[in-house]
Structure 1
Amino acid sequence: MGWLYAEGENESEGGNHEGWVVAVLSDGTDGEKDTFDDAEETWARRVQWAWSYKYDGKEGRRKAQGLRVVCYCGWRGARRPVDFADPDACDVQLRQEWERHCEISMSRMLTQRLQRLTSDLAVAFDELTGTCNKDGEPARPLLAAYAATSLLMDVEAWQRDAVRAARKGGFSWDEISGPLMMSKQSAHEKFAKHMEADAEETP
């Protein structure tokens, strides 16, 4: 098993995000996927990935010229330098790259928890507007209007917080604009001013 992203409540549909490190060999091909078949030896050597000795160029073994992180969904990361002296550092860098891929690819996929929450909200508003209220319960359209207005105010604040967190996390405006379902220019025009205000308030 490789890396799994967002398990439990946040698990992606179909579980199609699983990351692996592969060695890029001298002829430009990728080495075999590390399936932890060498788990005992990996543990004994205190290393995370078997590539660090499978493709180290010693005792007749082929030597990796680089590393790449790949995902079960078909995504392939860029070729990265290999450091046999510090495989854990390679592991950290590649995992960060793969997690960024997962975050971007899953940015328009509601988690199971969010799906339940939005479904509950829809039912509540249907009852308040009389679209689907229970027997004997009156419709309350004015309350529905107030609740919707309050939610709109909250949602705008949540949206700003989300964009702020994404920018702090190193995501570009181009990457952020996709989940916002607007152009890169529109996203920048709408939210950049809040980022600038934050910078001015920071001592």
Structure 2
Amino acid sequence: MGERETWTAEEFGRSHVGWVGVVLADGSVPGPVFFDSGSGSSGRSVSQWSVYDGRRLRGPRAAAVRAVCSCGWAGPEHGLDWALIGDQDLAEAGDGQADACVRDWDGHIVAVGATTTPLPEAITLLMERLEEEIEKLTKTAPVAAVRAARRMEVTAVRVGYWAANGARADLSTEQAATALGLNEDATRSLLARLGGWSRYA
């Protein structure tokens, strides 16, 4: 995987990393493009969609772009009209299609959230209110806001211990991952951290 711009959602972290993927005319997905620095073996591998313009020393020409997620999901293809693009820089000429990919991925994240275990409305409202109050406090008394944030951390550790142990007793890692919207590796790490055991146990 080469360098490229990616997106994440705070709640799901590295379990759902999105990017603009490239599709060639034959339906295949190209590998990274290597940019030689001119100093021997050093250089950069780049997978940013905008380098696939088919021009000299660049990658093959992209026929379409689509949103891709590290979980395996891929969005619909958005075609690139090279008759219109012409000699324009692909990063600018294909900006509309890339923006469509971002919206597709946002929709994917909403769908992931809809499949997770819902929180009671009272908990959601309390958390939103607490966040708002601490943000207000930050403007007038930042040290007090830091103390409040620290109290939140302490509370999370305390209640998270029993929650993680209960989830471990009731659910398989696969079931817990689905309920949390995370991949299994991230779920193991989260439960182990909250529950106070080794993730390899």
Q: TM-score, normalised by structure 1?
A: 0.41
Return the structure number with greater strand share: 2
Higher relative contact order at CA 8 Å, sep ≥6: structure 1 or structure 2? 2
